[in-house]
């Protein structure tokens, strides 16, 4: 009786103090909150409760909601943006080795890059492999060249060193070749060759097609499971440092079911600081359909939660259609069988395609499927396709297919100009045309083998069209505004995993994924956008990264 009475009083007190019950957990005030809502509204302040945004408005409006337990963050005029979402980042693969690889991303000179190897030789276990798996290009170095074998040996005389450039070249030190038992060209994966200099002398590097380099990389020792888990949490924090709170992961080469286990552990342990929507790639040439059927039998589309979600198939559906401009009828038929099966199950598809000249082959298959099973609401997408024609974009629009665009021209622009001429390069990639036609554009990087994962590098490139060497190749017709580029990286990218209703903008009811920036993205000189970082990153209102004034 007495207990009931007390309970009633407590209930009455709670009911009588609705303000306390509703006061936000966190408010951010005195800032420039770039909401990326449909009007691109700017606000001063934002309130967060239960992981979601409850109010946006003026500092005065938001401040008065604060209760005694509310955490008040003074932005001191700083800019807040929605957490960035990379719609095509090979994050799962990059994460596995993030704690055991050496990273050349953003190194301004070869001297700096070699210094990173020297540092790693000191900090890693004695004799450990030092592996640079990609993400760099000679144009980023002021020396404008690749490292020599002698330079690598000089900075790490007691470690095997392996440095890969894109998917066509890898330098090994003698200790590395010895450890892999490579004594002659016959020991290389098929298609691999020893590189020779102008005088016919071996340089120590291996060249060859993508297959040869992937197979060579596969010979390297893999990090153990604990290292993979450590690498995953560290890679996600690194993305948080750069304001990234979400990725759409397109699988990729060399990725087996085992490679997902570190990610799954981090998710089970509640340690995810980046939301991941992942798709699966066919891995065994010829039996992709059976393989994908078996892998997804108990994996319905959309399965998962807001931190980790299954998002269909791609970027490689079959080996035969991967980077193949001239697939045979039977290649195309097998591909059709798989994507039709996926459409029947409501799966998103994301498909890697390089050149517009051959994309008709892919679009014809998608159109055929669409006549039998409508795909308009399934969020299918094409990745890359940097020279997309108006006609291809119109066909994509008619099918409801989105386009994930990466800053490939930041590293590869000069090569594109060489192959296709400066006039063609002026419209690459035609994001303004795509937006005008109504194709959803998501932004991203394609990191980490072929590019840097830094979204601010990509945002700067969207806006100035300049390569890493500073050469402007894109024209103003296809240069988006800062607002549009940010839209691509937030609302645009969110679309590809059906998430534009829950994140991608800072609006009431949406998840409180945001970043407080070190510089004002909307007003700093364009050439400084690439240097912006986050000072404070939140995922669902929880601080996942804090630096400088917020440390
Ligand atoms: Zn790709």
Q: What is the pLDDT of residue 452?
A: 86
pLDDT band at 277 (very low <50, low <70, confident <90, very high): very high
Asked if the model's pLDDT at residue 8 lies above 70, the reply is no
Whole-number Å distance, alpha carbon 476 to ligand 1 midpoint, is: 26
Whole-number Å distance, alpha carbon 486 to ligand 1 midpoint, is: 22
Whole-number Å distance, alpha carbon 451 to ligand 1 midpoint, is: 11
Whole-number Å distance, alpha carbon 506 to ligand 1 midpoint, is: 30
Q: What is the pLDDT of residue 190?
A: 85
Bridge pairing between strands 193-196 and 202-207: antiparallel
Per cent of the chain over pLDDT 70 is 96
Asked if the model's pLDDT at residue 19 lies above 60, the reply is no
The tokens for 92 are 């799962």
Asked if the model's pLDDT at residue 397 lies above 60, the reply is yes
Q: What is the mean pLDDT of residues 321-328?
A: 94
**Which pLDDT tens digit goes with each residue over 100-122?**
899 898 899 999 999 999 999 99
Q: What is the pLDDT of residue 348?
A: 98
Q: Report long-range pairs for 37-40 (Cβ below 8 Å, ≥24 apart).
A: 37/505, 37/506, 37/507, 40/483, 40/487
Whole-number Å distance, alpha carbon 199 to ligand 1 midpoint, is: 36
Whole-number Å distance, alpha carbon 463 to ligand 1 midpoint, is: 22
Whole-number Å distance, alpha carbon 352 to ligand 1 midpoint, is: 5
Q: What is the mean pLDDT of residues 266-287?
A: 96
546: enclosing H helix or E strand = strand 542-546
Measured CA to CA, the distance from residue 466 to residue 452 in angstroms comes to: 15
Q: What is the pLDDT of residue 21?
A: 56
Whole-number Å distance, alpha carbon 547 to ligand 1 midpoint, is: 33
Is the pTM higher than 0.85?
Answer: yes
- Tell me the DSSP string of 35-97: ---TT--EESEEEEETTEEEEEE-HHHHHTT--TT-EEEE-TT-EEEEPEEESS--HHHHHHT
Measured CA to CA, the distance from residue 295 to residue 68 in angstroms comes to: 50
Q: What is the pLDDT of residue 291?
A: 94
pLDDT band at 308 (very low <50, low <70, confident <90, very high): very high
Whole-number Å distance, alpha carbon 549 to ligand 1 midpoint, is: 38
Asked if the model's pLDDT at residue 15 lies above 50, the reply is no
Q: Point out which residues pair with 32 in neighbouring strands.
A: 79
Q: Give the Å distances, CA to CA, from 177 to 181, 353, 399.
A: 6, 34, 49
**Which pLDDT tens digit goes with each residue over 493-531?**
999 999 999 999 999 999 999 999 999 999 999 999 999
Asked if the model's pLDDT at residue 469 lies above 90, the reply is no
Measured CA to CA, the distance from residue 130 to residue 113 in angstroms comes to: 12
pLDDT band at 99 (very low <50, low <70, confident <90, very high): confident
Asked if the model's pLDDT at residue 60 lies above 80, the reply is yes
Q: What is the mean pLDDT of residues 383-405?
A: 98
Whole-number Å distance, alpha carbon 89 to ligand 1 midpoint, is: 9
**Which pLDDT tens digit goes with each residue over 69-89?**
999 999 999 999 999 999 999
Q: What is the mean pLDDT of residues 290-303?
A: 94
Measured CA to CA, the distance from residue 201 to residue 197 in angstroms comes to: 5
Q: What is the pLDDT of residue 468?
A: 87
Q: What is the pLDDT of residue 273?
A: 98
**Which pLDDT tens digit goes with each residue over 207-235?**
999 899 999 999 999 899 999 999 999 99
Lowest mean pLDDT among 46-60, 126-140, 225-239: 126-140
Whole-number Å distance, alpha carbon 214 to ligand 1 midpoint, is: 14
């Amino acid at each position: 009786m007495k207990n009931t009475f007390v309970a009633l009083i407590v209930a009455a007190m709670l009911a009588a103090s609705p303000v306390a019950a509703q006061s936000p957990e966190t408010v951010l005030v005195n800032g420039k909150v770039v909401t990326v809502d449909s009007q691109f509204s700017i606000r001063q302040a934002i309130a967060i409760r239960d992981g979601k945004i409850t109010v946006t408005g003026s500092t005065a409006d938001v401040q008065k909601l604060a209760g005694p337990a509310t955490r008040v963050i003074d932005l001191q005029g700083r800019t807040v943006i929605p957490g960035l979402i990379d719609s095509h980042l090979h994050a799962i693969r990059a994460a596995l080795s993030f704690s055991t690889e050496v990273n050349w991303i953003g190194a301004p000179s070869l001297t700096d890059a070699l210094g990173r190897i020297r540092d790693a030789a000191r900090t890693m276990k004695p004799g450990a492999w030092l592996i640079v798996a990609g993400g760099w290009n000679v144009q980023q170095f002021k020396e404008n060249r690749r490292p020599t074998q002698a330079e690598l040996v000089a900075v790490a005389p007691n470690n095997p060193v392996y440095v890969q450039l894109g998917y066509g070249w890898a330098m090994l030190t003698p200790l590395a070749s010895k450890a892999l038992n490579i004594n002659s060209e016959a020991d290389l994966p098929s298609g691999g060759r020893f590189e020779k200099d102008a005088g016919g002398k071996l340089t120590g590097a291996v060249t060859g097609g993508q297959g040869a380099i992937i197979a060579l990389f596969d010979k390297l020792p893999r990090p153990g499971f604990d290292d993979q888990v450590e690498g995953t949490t560290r890679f996600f924090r690194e993305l948080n440092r750069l304001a990234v709170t979400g990725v759409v992961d397109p699988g990729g080469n060399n990725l087996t079911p085992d490679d997902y286990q570190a990610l799954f552990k981090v998710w089970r342990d509640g340690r995810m600081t980046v939301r991941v929507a992942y798709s699966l790639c066919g891995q065994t040439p010829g039996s992709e359909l059976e393989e994908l059927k078996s892998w997804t039998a108990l994996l319905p589309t959309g399965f998962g939660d807001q931190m980790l979600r299954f998002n269909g198939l791609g970027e490689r559906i079959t080996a035969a259609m991967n980077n193949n401009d001239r697939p045979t009828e039977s290649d195309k038929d097998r591909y059709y069988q798989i994507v039709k099966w996926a459409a029947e199950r409501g799966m998103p598809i994301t498909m890697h395609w390089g050149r517009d000249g051959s994309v008709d082959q892919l679009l014809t298959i998608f159109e055929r499927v669409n006549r039998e099973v409508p795909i308009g609401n399934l969020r299918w997408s094409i990745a890359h396709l940097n020279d997309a024609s108006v006609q291809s974009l119109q066909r994509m629009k008619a099918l409801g297919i989105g386009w994930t665009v990466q800053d490939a021209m930041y590293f590869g622009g000069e090569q594109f100009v060489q192959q296709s001429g400066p006039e063609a390069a002026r419209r690459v990639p035609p994001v303004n045309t795509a937006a005008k036609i109504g194709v959803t554009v998501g932004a991203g990087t394609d990191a980490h083998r072929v590019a840097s994962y830094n979204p601010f590098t990509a945002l700067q490139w969207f806006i100035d069209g300049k390569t890493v060497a500073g050469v402007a190749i894109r024209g103003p017709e296809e240069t988006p505004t800062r607002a549009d580029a940010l839209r691509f990286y937030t609302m645009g990218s969110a679309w590809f995993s059906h998430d534009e209703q829950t994140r991608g903008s800072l609006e009431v009811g949406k998840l409180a994924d945001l970043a407080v920036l070190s510089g004002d993205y909307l007003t700093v000189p364009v050439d400084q956008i690439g240097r912006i970082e986050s000072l404070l990153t939140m995922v669902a209102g929880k601080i996942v990264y804090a630096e400088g004034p917020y440390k």
